[in-house]
Structure 1
Amino acid sequence: MAASKRTPVTPVKRTTTRTVKTATQAKRRPAKNKKKVLTPVSILKYSVYMLLLCFAVTGLYRFRHGFMAYLGFNKINNKPVTVFTKEERKIADLRIYEIVSRHKDRIFGFDVSHYQGEINWDSIERSKGDFPLDFVFIRATAGNNGADSQFKRNWKNAKRTGFIRGAYHYYRPDENSVKQADNFITHVALRKGDLPPVLDIEKIPNGQSMDSLKSGLKRWLDKVEEHYGVKPIIYSGESFYTDFLKTEFKGYKLWIANYSFFNDDIRKEWDFWQFTDKAAILGIEGKVDANIYNGSKKDLKGCCIQ
Structure 2
Amino acid sequence: MRGAAILTTVAVCAGLAGCGGEHKPGPVHTQLMAPEALVASDHLAPGLPARFGDTNPTPWEGITPARYPVHGLDAARYQGAIDWPQARAAGIAFAWLKATEGGDHVDPGFERNAPAARAAGVRVGAYHFYYFCRSAADQAKWFIERVPKHAGDLPPVLDIEWNHTSPTCQLRPDGSKVRAEMRTFLDLLERHYGTRPVVYTDPAFYADNDLGQMAGVEFWLRTVTAHPSERYPGERWSFWQYTGTGVVPGVGGTVDLNAFAGSRAAWDAWLAARAQ
- TM-score normalized with structure 2 length: 0.70
Alpha-carbon contact 1:174-1:208 (below 8 Å) kept:
no
Match status 1:110 vs 2:110: no
Aligned Cα root-mean-square deviation (Å):
3.1
Q: Which residue number in structure 1 is paired with residue 53 of structure 2?
A: 84
Structure showing greater radius of gyration is 1
Q: Describe how 1:126-205 pairs up with structure 2 within 5 A.
A: 126-127=88-89, 129=90, 132-203=91-162
How far off its partner does 1:152 sit?
0.8
> 1 or 2 for the larger relative contact order (CA 8 Å, sep ≥6)?
2
Distance change (3 Å), C-alpha of 1:184 and 1:301 = farther
| Structure 1 segments unaligned to the other structure (5+ residues) | 1-68
1: distance between equivalents of 2:120 and 2:229?
27
Amino acid at match of 1:134: A
2: distance between equivalents of 1:208 and 1:247?
18
Q: Describe how 1:1-306 pairs up with structure 2 within 5 A.
A: 81=50, 84=53, 92=57, 94-95=59-60, 99-101=64-66, 103=67, 105-124=68-87, 126-127=88-89, 129=90, 132-203=91-162, 206-207=170-171, 209-210=173-174, 211-260=176-225, 263-264=226-227, 269-304=236-271, 305=275
2: distance between equivalents of 1:71 and 1:223?
42
Amino acid at match of 1:118: A
SS at match of 1:250: coil
Alpha-carbon contact 2:136-2:182 (below 8 Å) kept:
yes
Distance change (3 Å), C-alpha of 1:243 and 1:75 = closer
How far off its partner does 1:230 sit?
1.2
Alpha-carbon contact 2:47-2:64 (below 8 Å) kept:
no
How far off its partner does 1:143 sit?
0.4
Alpha-carbon contact 2:84-2:120 (below 8 Å) kept:
yes
Alpha-carbon contact 2:228-2:240 (below 8 Å) kept:
no
Amino acid at match of 1:288: V
How far off its partner does 1:245 sit?
4.0
Q: Which residue number in structure 2 is paired with residue 55 of structure 1?
A: none
SS at match of 1:134: strand
- TM-score normalized with structure 1 length: 0.63
Alpha-carbon contact 1:120-1:284 (below 8 Å) kept:
yes
Aligned length: 221
1: distance between equivalents of 2:43 and 2:115?
38
How far off its partner does 1:216 sit?
1.9
Distance change (3 Å), C-alpha of 1:226 and 1:287 = same
Q: Percent identity?
A: 29
Kindly provide the CA deviation profile for residues 54-76 of structure 1, in whole angstroms up to 9, marking residues without a partner as x.
Answer: xxxxxxxxxxxxxxx9999x998
Q: Which residue number in structure 2 is paired with residue 21 of structure 1?
A: none
1: distance between equivalents of 2:122 and 2:130?
25
How far off its partner does 1:233 sit?
0.6
